Amino acid sequence: MDSGLSDEARDKAEAIKTDANEFFKKQDYEKAIELYTEAINLNPNIPAYYGNRSFAHLRVESFGYALADASKAIELDKNYVKAYYRRAGAYMSLGRFKLALKDLEAVVKVRPNDADAKRKYNECKKIVTKNAFLAAIAVEENHKSVSECIDLDSMSIEEDYTGPKLENGNVTLEFVNTLMETFKKQQKLHRKFAYKILMDAKKYFEQQPTMVEVTISPDSKFTVCGDIHGQFYDLMNIFDINGLPSEDNPYLFNGDFVDRGSFSVECIFTLMSFKLLYPNHFFMSRGNHESATMNQMYGFEGEVKSKYTPQMAELFTEVFNLLPLCHLLNNKVLVMHGGLFSQDNVTLEDIKKVDRRRQPPEEGIMCELLWSDPQPDNGRAPSKRGVGVQFGPDVTEKFLKNNSLDYVIRSHEVKPEGYEISHGQKCITVFSAPNYCDTMGNKGAFITFTGKDLTPKFTTFSAVPHPPVKPMAYADFFSSLFL
């Protein structure tokens, strides 16, 4: 198959692949991807090179690239079982469980006596069956939302409960301070108060527009944070560095509050409590991980079920469906989690009209606000994630000009310094989860500016210690078999 290649080229490619494997073991996935690519360029006919690179792409959440590499490996060798596993993992990460099941079925046919393959196939089949059942329930005429089924009055508070308590059903500053201290000690908020916060947040977000317009007074400081991803102790560090949210110290958290990190419950209740306390000075945008599929895959659903109830996990889904998709600051800066669009001439009015009250679709404005990424080259390219689009500097420039904006802020991507300025300083990425997943070694960052001077200032910070609970500790067992 690799005839025409010199022995020297083959040997060099194999040596580079071996080096790439070592970087993969060290969890330096970007370097591993770079080296697998070198090996492929030298010898493009070895299925394992693509299969290994696919696995590395999975680890950095480039699901689209992982899918393409696994498919290429299968094209080269239809009996290469690992490639089917990799492709199934990519499909699962994108919520395409039926296609994942099809790949696992192919593995079982090739290896009918492989107990591990059968187990993975059966687990995936359970998910497909469960999702089909839930979809059937959802379309029933009389199906009630979870929030309609919750009876707060029937929830009693045990006499020995000494944790934070709402004051006449309301969030107060004392409550939030006590809540954060409680969470630092790895103690829980009582489920009655947890449900009340969620119910109140749902009522609030129901009234909010898809694009929230924020006015920052000239002398006011404003802070934008990126992904938190369940890293509660790093969230506390942000508040230590930059001050607690208040009417004089407003914040915007730009999506992906949960998943991956195993303190997502603590993060989301802290953030939602501040939202209820300072509704006009604390803002939250939806990220691609505020969705049912991501929460099922990456740990939040399992964490909520473990710390509270399956019913609460469903309620979170309802609340996440109501989160705004972006924020417009002083009519000059647009902040969204992912990025820009596959079509030119998208306007702010088009964004305002988006029906956000649902699970993210696989295409269109809502999808791209949550999933897209910038690229250095002009034009557009298929997304490395398999969802959304990659957009170049010319796309950014045209969008800003058409909408009379100065620049955009987005999150969604790990950056070594916690932030990145691109597209001629018109596209800024901010990521606030340092040492992401306890493995990436990146810094976190947040952005501050004043209303009269929207020039961003960046503060970077390193990860702080947290209790010995590993990231993805609550992830679905089936997910951990692939990712």
User: Catalytic: which of 229, 289, 423, 466?
Assistant: 289
Dihedral sign, CA of 82, 84, 85, 87?
A: positive
The 3-state DSSP class for residue 113 equals coil
Give every strand in the sheet of 333-336, ordered side by side.
Answer: 211-214, 326-329, 333-336, 407-410, 427-430, 419-422
* Chain CA centroid to CA 187, Å: 25
Say what the alpha-carbon torsion angle 77, 81, 87, 91 is, to the nearest 10 degrees. Answer: 140
Q: Could you give the CA distance from residue 404 to residue 402 in angstroms, rounded to a whole number?
A: 6
Q: Could you give the CA distance from residue 222 to residue 432 in angstroms, rounded to a whole number?
A: 16
Do β-strands 251-253 and 221-225 pair in parallel, antiparallel, or remain unpaired? parallel
Q: How far is CA 168 from CA 177, 341, 453, in A?
A: 17, 45, 40
Do β-strands 251-253 and 282-284 pair in parallel, antiparallel, or remain unpaired? parallel
Q: Are 237 and 267 a contacting pair, CB within 8 Å? A: no
The 3-state DSSP class for residue 463 equals coil
Q: How far is CA 19 from CA 44, 78, 238, 478, in A?
A: 17, 26, 37, 30
Phi, psi of 153 (to 5 degrees): -65, -30
Q: Are 328 and 208 a contacting pair, CB within 8 Å? A: no
Residue 289 catalytic? yes
Please, what is the Cα angle at 386 between 384 and 389, to 5 degrees? Answer: 70
The DSSP secondary structure of 338-370, one letter per residue, reads S---SSTT--HHHHHT---SSS--SSSHHHHHH
Closest CA to 350 of 364, 361, 330, 335: 364
DSSP state of 261: S
**Phi/psi zone of residue 76: left (φ > 0), alpha (ψ -120 to 50 degrees), beta?**
alpha
Burial label for 266, CB within 10 Å (0-12, 13-18, 19+), is buried
Q: How far is CA 34 from CA 17, 38, 41, in A?
A: 10, 6, 11
Q: How far is CA 182 from CA 175, 188, 256, 409, 450, in A?
A: 10, 7, 23, 33, 33
Catalytic residue ranges: 289
